[in-house]
Structures are given as structure tokens and as C-alpha cells.
Amino acid sequence: MLKTKKINSKWSEIKMSELELNKLIIHFAQCNKSEAKSPKTVSWYTETLKEYTKFLAASGRECALGELSVASVRDFIISQQGKGLSRYTVQGRVRDLKAFSSWLFREGYTPENLLTRIKLPKVPIRVIEPLTPMEIDTLVSYQNQLTALGSRDVALLIAFLDTGVRLSELSNLTFEDAHIEQGYLKVVGKGNKERIVPLGGLSQRILYRYLFHFRPEPYSPTDNYLFLTLDGKQLTPNAIRLILTRWGKNAGVPRLHAHLCRHSFATSFLNQKCGDVFRLQQILGHTSLEMVRRYVHYSSAQDMMQGHVSSPVDRLGIRQLKGYKIDQALKVRQSRVAR
């Protein structure tokens, strides 16, 4: 039997262009896990990269690092757009690919960041109307707050609207981290980062009513979350999502969902001048001001729709446009019509 000679290969001798993308995707996922990125983030990255490798295979390309290029990624973007995916989904997948490309460069697999020139596809910025006071009244009125379910669900809604926390953050909030008497919650956000979110007086009262009279004993020590099912188990994100969906549909507010509550909080925070954008960024747990700028846009749009923005022409005080008799006659006619 012939003995093969072992070769002490060097990193510089590895043909990087021939490395299988599937192996690199696994390595990328392991690195993200070691950096304490959330399981959902790791899953999103992996799903996008697998879609990209499927595209390469379907288009007759090799699923190797050498195929990762600006040209192939642009073709991938066009193919994703052709599938009828939302612009937000396509933009998210491009973000994932750019993150993968940056990681390859940092790890030494590529001599440069291959996708630096790839720009994110534009997405429409829509004016999303927050929940109105009337809608909130309708939702609260639908529940019987003198029952365990009604008290809990109203406490959930008010906590969402008063703190702007994410769905997973409220679901995973433990009893020990709910400092209701002191007026704040300590939540664990993305990347296992803790932050403090303030509680208002009304939220404190609603939460106390749930805790003192209706919150069951935890099913086990590991289930010591603030919000529980009737049998004392954790109220999971999917369970909360289902509660809000059914509640909104039955109460006549079908657009109700957790992220709309977060959006409503952010918009109200700015409209009611509860603090500046930096304070809002801290409460929401955003690492940058990019998302906060969107809330500023929404808030400004709402002000304009409600007539809170003064007109520049009104403030000029142009004398020649005042005092005509026809204007006085028009006012009299309008008053008669109003009667």
C-alpha cells in the first residue's frame, strides 16, 4: 500500500475561489452564533445565502466563492424581484449578502469586500398611521378587565403602547425585571443587550391590577415571566401575536399587531414631546438613528395631516391680501351654511 505524503499547506496556497459556498455559510453562521447574534438573525442570514446558492445552481453557475460578484448578486436581485417578493424582503436579502461579503473580507477569504459597490434597493416610505385614541378605547372596551384574560390582555396592550418594546422582549420579560413600583422595565433586546424602558402611571396601575388579582402562579420556576397563560406557563410570542390578531378582528380594529403598537408609541413619544430622538433611540433599543428618522418622518406627516404645521404664507402677513369685502361676504355665507 502506497503511503501518501502529507503536505504542510499554507493559507496563501488555498484556492479561495474554489471554496464551497455551503461550507462558508456554515462557518459564517457559527461566527454569528459566537458573537451572540440572535437565532432569528442567524436564521435569516442562512436562509438568504441558501437562496443565493440555489440561484447560482439554477443559472448554471458553480456554488463556489469565485462566483460571488457584483454581477451575480445583481442578477440575483433581479430574480428575487421577479418572484413578486416585497421590496423590503429583497432589500433585506441584499443586506444579508453584503454582511456575508464583509465577513469574508474580515476573515481573509477575499482580498477586498466584493459587494461594496452593491447599493440597497430602494423601498417606499409609507406613512403608517398609529393607533388612534378611539381605536385604543374600542380595543380596551371590548375586554372585560374584571376577568383574568381581560386584565392580562389589556395590560399587554398598554405595556406595548407605553414602552414600545418588541414582541419577543415583552414575552421574555421576567417577573424580577418588571420594576413596576420604580416605574421601569429591564428588557433584553437584540444581541442580548439590556436596556431600561420607563413606565407611566397608568401602565403601573394596569399592571398592578393584573399582578395582584389575576396573574397565576408560575407552572415551574423556569416560567417566572411577567405575562403567563392561565395555567402559569410563558405567554410565547406566537401566543401574543394570536391574541392581538383575534382581539383586533373581533373588536373592529383588524390592523392591530405588536409592531403597530411599537410604531404608535414612537410616534406619540415625538408628537407629545416626551423627549428627543436620542432618548427615543435609547428606549427603542436601536443601534443607529436610521429607524428613528423614519418615526420622525411619520410624526411630521401626522402633524401636517392634523393641521399642526403653520403656513409660511400665513406668517408673512401680506397686507394687500387682507380686508377685501368679498372675503367678509364669503365668511357670512359660510356661517349661514354651517347653521
My answer on whether 158 and 301 are in the same domain is: yes
Other C-beta atoms lying within 10 Å of the C-beta of residue 164: 23
> pLDDT digits over 16-49, tens only?
889 999 999 999 999 999 887 888 889 999 999 9
> pLDDT digits over 252-308, tens only?
999 999 999 998 998 888 888 888 888 888 888 877 777 777 767 666 655 555 555
My answer on whether 189 and 270 are in the same domain is: yes
My answer on whether 180 and 279 are in the same domain is: yes
What's CA 315's distance to the chain center, in Å?
Answer: 39
Q: Look at residue 90 and tell me if it is in a domain.
A: yes
My answer on whether 101 and 147 are in the same domain is: no
Q: Look at residue 217 and tell me if it is in a domain.
A: yes
My answer on whether 176 and 252 are in the same domain is: yes
Q: Look at residue 318 and tell me if it is in a domain.
A: no
Q: Are 209 and 259 within 8 A, CB to CB?
A: no
**Count of structural domains within the chain:** 2
Q: Look at residue 1 and tell me if it is in a domain.
A: no
My answer on whether 161 and 235 are in the same domain is: yes
> pLDDT digits over 124-182, tens only?
777 678 899 999 999 999 999 999 999 999 999 999 999 999 999 999 999 999 999 99
CA atoms of 338 and 330, how far apart (whole Å): 12
My answer on whether 103 and 137 are in the same domain is: no
Q: Look at residue 325 and tell me if it is in a domain.
A: no
Q: Look at residue 83 and tell me if it is in a domain.
A: yes
CATH code, domain with 72: 1.10.150.130
User: Is 60 exceeded by the pLDDT of residue 317?
Assistant: no
Q: What pTM does this model have?
A: 0.70
My answer on whether 166 and 277 are in the same domain is: yes
Contacts of 140 (CB under 8 A, 6+ apart): 154, 157
My answer on whether 43 and 96 are in the same domain is: yes
Determine the structural domain holding residue 192 and report its residue range: 133-305
Q: Look at residue 173 and tell me if it is in a domain.
A: yes
Q: How many residues does the chain have?
A: 339
pLDDT of residue 322: 56
CATH code, domain with 224: 1.10.443.10
Q: Look at residue 23 and tell me if it is in a domain.
A: yes
My answer on whether 274 and 145 are in the same domain is: yes
My answer on whether 201 and 83 are in the same domain is: no
My answer on whether 177 and 268 are in the same domain is: yes
> pLDDT digits over 172-218, tens only?
999 999 999 999 999 998 877 899 999 999 999 999 999 999 999 99
Buried b (16+ CB within 10 A) or exposed e, 62-90: ebbbebbeeebbeebbebbeeeeeeeeeb
> pLDDT digits over 58-75, tens only?
999 999 999 999 999 999
